Amino acid sequence: MIDVRVQADDFDPGAEIERLHAGRGDIGAVASFTGLVRGGDIVAMTLEHYPGMTERQLRAIADDAATRWPLDGIVIVHRHGRLLPGERIVLVAVASSHRAAAFEACAFLMDWLKTQAPFWKREESDEGDRWVEAKVSDDAAAARWQR
Amino acid sequence: MIDVRVQADDFDPGAEIERLHAGRGDIGAVASFTGLVRGGDIVAMTLEHYPGMTERQLRAIADDAATRWPLDGIVIVHRHGRLLPGERIVLVAVASSHRAAAFEACAFLMDWLKTQAPFWKREESDEGDRWVEAKVSDDAAAARWQR
Amino acid sequence: MIELLYFAWVRERIGKNGERLELPANVGTAAQLLDWLEARGDGYAAALADRPRLRLAINQIFAPLTAPVTAGDEIAIFPPVTGG
Amino acid sequence: MIELLYFAWVRERIGKNGERLELPANVGTAAQLLDWLEARGDGYAAALADRPRLRLAINQIFAPLTAPVTAGDEIAIFPPVTGG
């Protein structure tokens, strides 16, 4: 099961994790990652995206992960729109028989998503708004999966 | 916040993940791992543990993780008693400002827990009961964190 | 015709989400397309001047500046992505 | 006195969860303790014969066979752990 969603609404990480293994007795491991808006100087963050391409890229990233590791299911949920500090932005959850595969695929999906999914973050702060710059560290994180 | 629990009762991964970041705006990432009973030939699995030492070891493992990565919170919940295929066994969830720290600490905690926490699995199958043998692969996984 | 889409600060500087334009006969690559768009006005120039900070997708697939562009293409221009 | 605890198949083979025993004067290390216990009967022999498959904790901390044991210690004997 590969399920990819781009939505304005919040999501429920527990329900997504549960959905990956509910009714099955063959799944030993579910690794998940929940990304949240970090506050600090930021009042809010708005995520713009490229409808159509976003879903397509997330799906391609998930399909790629499924060829690299023995996985039983992948859920990716990514929100767009205006989000406040502490709000959930993204969930990646991966089911597998093997914990190393689940962990690695989950980290891979996040690294890949950060550099390959067409989202752009605009931060609102007391000093005004600004577009978040892409991080070199994200490119480096993604590069380690290159093959 | 470091929270370590050993219990017979089931737990709620979503609630534990939420608890790690609720009311805080400074946490960017929560990585989690949920371990489940895999079926196959197994009818049920019973987890025996060493009360007192188990909590102590899990706490020590969590404290160690907190010295290795910049973490904002760790939850470890491990069940004991008789569990059926598909049931949750263990949850490790880690909050951090940084996703790599959250992922690595979560993988570290699972590897360490597998080799350092005094639990023993007994599997029930149609051919009778048997104690699960420790895996060399688990020792190898734990060894990569040695320093 | 080509369908152009602009995102993030590229969108803001050009001042629109996108537009449909007739592809000139002498524009055969993404690089030539950017050169041609850049000459369309100050907003375009501000948005497209700094090529190393631009990314392109042709028909929803990331593409380099050397990629060919043809009539009917959906071509998106945007900064490096920052999701996740 | 020492407090002995047995887990998993060590417990099953010895036939009890644990016991309190007087530590003999000539038992100073975990290895000597296992030698002494092993001679206490068939169950003990079956549980303790295969030393590479045994793990020890003294006062709830993993300990090697060379570790000293002293009166008052809580000493647990068990197979390699298989949690998680």
Chains D and B touch (3+ CB pairs under 8 A): yes
Per the structure block, which two tokens stand in for C12?
Answer: 């803001």
> Helix, strand, or coil here: A45?
strand
**What is the structure's pLDDT at A139?**
87
Quickly count: other Cβ atoms within 10 Å of residue B110's Cβ: 25
Residues in CB range of A141: below 8 A, 6 or more apart:
A111, A114, A115, B100
What domains sit in chain C, N to C, each tagged with a CATH number? 16-78 (3.10.20.30)
- Please calculate the CA angle A119-A99-B124 and round it to the nearest 5 degrees: 140
Tens of pLDDT along D44-77?
A: 999 999 999 999 999 999 999 999 999 999 999 9
CA-to-CA distance for A35 and A20, rounded, in angstroms?
19
ipTM of the modeled complex = 0.93
- Minimal-distance CA residue of chain B relative to D56: B118
Average confidence score pLDDT of chain A: 96
* d(C-alpha B96, C-alpha B91), whole Å: 17
Q: 10 Å Cβ neighbour count for B86? A: 16
CA atoms within 13 A on the CB side of A106: 37
Instruction: Report the percentage of chain D scoring pLDDT > 70.
Output: 100
Amino acid found at B52: G
All structural domains of chain B, each given as residue ranges with its CATH number in brackets, are: 2-142 (3.90.1170.40)
> What is residue C80's predicted lDDT score, i.e. its pLDDT?
97
User: pLDDT at position B139, please?
Assistant: 87
pLDDT of residue A33: 98
Half-sphere exposure of D4 (CA within 13 A, CB side): 22
Phi-psi category of residue C38: left, alpha or beta, with phi > 0 → left and psi -120 to 50 → alpha: alpha
Angle, CA A88 vertex, CA A82 and CA A89 arms, to 5°: 65
Q: What is the pLDDT of residue B41?
A: 87
Containing A29, the helix (H) or strand (E) segment is: strand A29-36
- Identify all chain A residues contacting B106, using CB atoms and an 8 Å cutoff: 31, 103
Residue indicated by tokens 């690294």: A111
Interface D:C, ≥3 CB–CB pairs < 8 Å: no
Chain C, nearest residue to A50 by Cα: C7
Angle at which helices B53-68 and B99-116 cross, to 10°: 150
| Contact check, Cβ <8 Å, C80/A134 | yes
User: Tell me, what's the pLDDT at B22?
Assistant: 93
Record: contact D81-B35, CB cut-off 8 A: no
A90-A93-A98 Cα angle (round to 5):
155
Please compute, for residue B99, the number of CA atoms within 13 A of its CA located in the half-sphere on the CB side. Answer: 26
Concatenated DSSP letters of B97-147: SSHHHHHHHHHHHHHHHHHHS-EEEEEEETTEEEEPPPPHHHHHHHHTT--
Tens digits of residue pLDDT in B22-37: 998 889 999 999 999 9
DSSP SS3 for C51: helix
- By the 8 A CB rule, do C1 and C37 touch? no
Element (H, E) at B59: helix B53-68
Report d(CA C45, CA A16) in Å as an integer: 45
Give the whole-angstrom CA distance, residue B74 versus residue B1: 6
d(Cα B127, Cα B48) in Å, to the nearest integer? Answer: 21
Chains touching A (at least 3 CB pairs under 8 A) are B, C
- pLDDT at position A40, please? 86
Mean pLDDT of C4-25: 98
Question: For residue D35, what pLDDT is reported?
Answer: 97
Contacts of A147 (CB under 8 A, 6+ apart): none
Predicted local distance difference test score (pLDDT) of residue B146? 85
Q: Is the pLDDT of residue D40 over 90?
A: yes
Beta-bridged to residue C68, according to DSSP, are: C29
Q: What is the pLDDT of residue C49?
A: 94
Q: What does the alpha-carbon distance between residue C7 and residue C51 come to, in Å, rounded to a whole number?
A: 15
CB B117 within 8 A of CB D60: no
Q: Each residue of C27-67: pLDDT tens digit? A: 999 999 999 999 999 999 999 999 999 999 999 999 999 99
The CA-based angle A115-A119-A121, given to 5 degrees, is 105
pLDDT score recorded for residue A147: 79
Cross-chain Cβ contact D8/B131 below 8 Å: yes
Q: Flag if B49 and D82 touch (Cβ within 8 Å).
A: no
Report the pLDDT value the prediction gives residue B116, as an integer from 0 to 100.
Answer: 96
Q: What is the mean pLDDT of residues B119-144?
A: 93
Whether D21 and chain B come into contact, CB under 8 Å, resolves to no
- In the predicted model, residues of chain A with pLDDT beneath 50 are none
Mean pLDDT confidence for B69-94 = 98
pLDDT value for A37: 96
Note the pLDDT of residue A145: 87
Tokens of B92: 């490790």
Helix (H, G, I), strand (E, B) or coil at A56: helix
* CA-angle at C39, arms to C35 and C42, nearest 5°: 125
